[in-house]
Structure 1
């Protein structure tokens, strides 16, 4: 079958359009991000026709990517590129069978595990700082609920005003894909998460004093809201990166010898450039580790954060060997 002249950007746009109908917005975003990097690579090498993309070009893209990202990230990117190349075969943009020559980055077990974690001490310092200077603000609510509940961003975004039960107190996570807030494991992610009266008081004060009286485009009233409606994943992430930068919560002292007055990472939207800041998922890992160190049973922790014991052990429990040994102390018997 003869191939046709196809600009790489056109091929990517057609691929994403095809995927749009049957993948989540987050998955589509991940595809778009990976293929944007691929397009950047091709542009740097003046490749303007997919017919000039061969297995060597793709292999060199993998090498180029590994200079900037961890193997686990490169693996995900290469999986997307391989699937994209397979799509390109169907539109006669590249030779049939090219995708079979694409090698997906191999990672060892250690590379699969992300070690970014917010410790209990760091979380306490951050929440203390927010409680003193940004009480019941949007940022305070985001950090408070992510830490205290160990939930995913998707769960936090899914909460409506009616999902906060002040009396129990608890937050109720529900899967509502038809109105834009699916949960990762769909109905299996639905649960009620008990919170402390102290945390509930902050949420109540946010609702009464800080939360804008808005609805989202589906007519729902989001709990975590801005004046534009339901808070986006990007906004939540920016708040977390900023609040977890050490100079934000330790009195303005930078452990990396930077000047906070001129450091780009102290600016809104750039805090991810701070070596000490972490993503929202690091709070989830931190909560799991802190809960297990405090003696909370694995099954209770797993049910609370909607996670299997196997995944909890492999990817989320970041306790040291000493901490895990201490957890076992009360269960030991002299035999």
Structure 2
């Protein structure tokens, strides 16, 4: 069974020393310094994952400024902003990604204007492109029928039953569904088989924060099917290891707690459809490069942890689970679920949500009133 060494989660903490020139005038900050100062400021009120996302979104702007020899953000003007946007468009960036990058850049420059290191008018010159409604969210998900076939495959084949792939898919589908970081942060002690639930705890000091910090802490009940798989994994395939903080991860690599990237790659490998059916792309599984650890994410039919989560939320809604219950289990607001996760196609919408109300659209025998 392929394993991956755990690597530390990236952190973008930068020590910011006070800067003064003796006259009270704002200093000259280059793009990298301005970005790091802003991130250091927002870290107090933002999740580390949010800070990391902003760091990545601004990475290209910082590098572009350095390539252009822009030594101070005070030298930036509207033409520079236009040139940077053109530079990113020329790289073929998706409109949603460009919108995110420029929106974050606008936030950075608003901060810079507030501390008077750029002109007040500069933030207004950043105009993120409008994203078409159909591109606002990624509808890609692990479909219900694919998930159930994969789960049946793992349960019915002794060679892979209770494997790491089996437990990952089981957690991703039944245990919330959780985000990637929540799966990674689970300890053996967070799993309660007798009471049939798992606990998600926010432990940022030990490298396992939750997306919504302490607000993400919750207990999620598990069906018996999931209990059986987790128990089997612990007994047969879990490595008896501890992480750097002496904790016992539930899902392990040979060296301890796996990195987020390792879990992401494992889920791609877990959901390759060739496990349970002929390759939908006409490839030979024995020679297909997509079954390789480094290429699994490129398979058009494999799915990421986020896409498994999306599929599981849609499945729960199609099964009639109230949206407020789904919201509590998945730790996402009702509005976020409806926009980003709850993605039935129109056939699913008809069959599983609207058809049960069909009898209300008939006439009663008492003069034509609706039933």
- Partners of 1:262 and 1:54 in 2: CA distance: 53
Residue 133 of structure 2 corresponds to residue 106 of structure 1: no
1:206-234 deviation per Cα after TM superposition (whole angstroms, max 9, x unaligned): 22222222333333322122233323221
- Partners of 1:91 and 1:310 in 2: CA distance: 35
Distance of aligned partners of 1:59 and 1:196 in 2 relative to their CA distance in 1, 3 Å threshold: same
Q: How far 1:117 sits from its partner (Å)?
A: 0.9
Structure number with greater Rg is 2
Aligned equivalent of 1:329, options 332, 352, 355: 355
Q: Structure 1: any 5+ residue segments left out of the alignment? A: none
Secondary structure of 2:220's match? strand
* Residue correspondences, number: 331
- Confirm or deny: 8 A CA contact 2:166 2:270 kept in the other structure: no
1:82-136 deviation per Cα after TM superposition (whole angstroms, max 9, x unaligned): 2333455678875554223211232243332221111011112333344424332
- Confirm or deny: 8 A CA contact 1:163 1:171 kept in the other structure: yes
Aligned equivalent of 1:153, options 180, 201, 213: 180
Distance of aligned partners of 1:2 and 1:192 in 2 relative to their CA distance in 1, 3 Å threshold: closer
Task: Give the structure 1 partner of residue 193 of structure 2.
Answer: 166
**TM-score normalised by length of structure 1:** 0.83
- Partners of 2:286 and 2:113 in 1: CA distance: 52
- Confirm or deny: 8 A CA contact 1:216 1:229 kept in the other structure: yes
After TM superposition, list the pairs within 5 Å mapping 1:29-68 onto structure 2.
29-42=52-65, 46-47=68-69, 49-50=71-72, 53-66=76-89, 68=92
Residue 332 of structure 2 corresponds to residue 307 of structure 1: yes
Task: Give the structure 2 partner of residue 77 of structure 1.
Answer: 101
1:45-81 deviation per Cα after TM superposition (whole angstroms, max 9, x unaligned): 6445345643233234334435534333222211222
Q: Structure 2: any 5+ residue segments left out of the alignment? A: 1-24, 363-369
After TM superposition, list the pairs within 5 Å mapping 1:160-239 onto structure 2.
160-239=187-266
Task: Give the structure 1 partner of residue 9 of structure 2.
Answer: none
Residue 153 of structure 2 corresponds to residue 126 of structure 1: no
Distance of aligned partners of 1:20 and 1:188 in 2 relative to their CA distance in 1, 3 Å threshold: closer
- Partners of 1:61 and 1:273 in 2: CA distance: 29
Q: How far 1:162 sits from its partner (Å)?
A: 1.5
- Confirm or deny: 8 A CA contact 2:26 2:115 kept in the other structure: no
Q: How far 1:260 sits from its partner (Å)?
A: 5.6
Residue 310 of structure 2 corresponds to residue 285 of structure 1: yes
- Partners of 1:168 and 1:3 in 2: CA distance: 59
Q: Please say which of residues 174-183 and 76-85 is displaced more in the overlay.
A: 174-183
Q: How far 1:305 sits from its partner (Å)?
A: 2.0
- Partners of 1:289 and 1:72 in 2: CA distance: 23
**TM-score normalised by length of structure 2:** 0.76
Q: How far 1:319 sits from its partner (Å)?
A: 1.4
Q: How far 1:11 sits from its partner (Å)?
A: 4.8
- Confirm or deny: 8 A CA contact 1:62 1:105 kept in the other structure: no
- The structure carrying a bigger helix percent of its residues is 1
Task: Give the structure 1 partner of residue 323 of structure 2.
Answer: 298
Q: Please say which of residues 131-140 and 282-291 is displaced more in the overlay.
A: 131-140
Task: Give the structure 1 partner of residue 10 of structure 2.
Answer: none
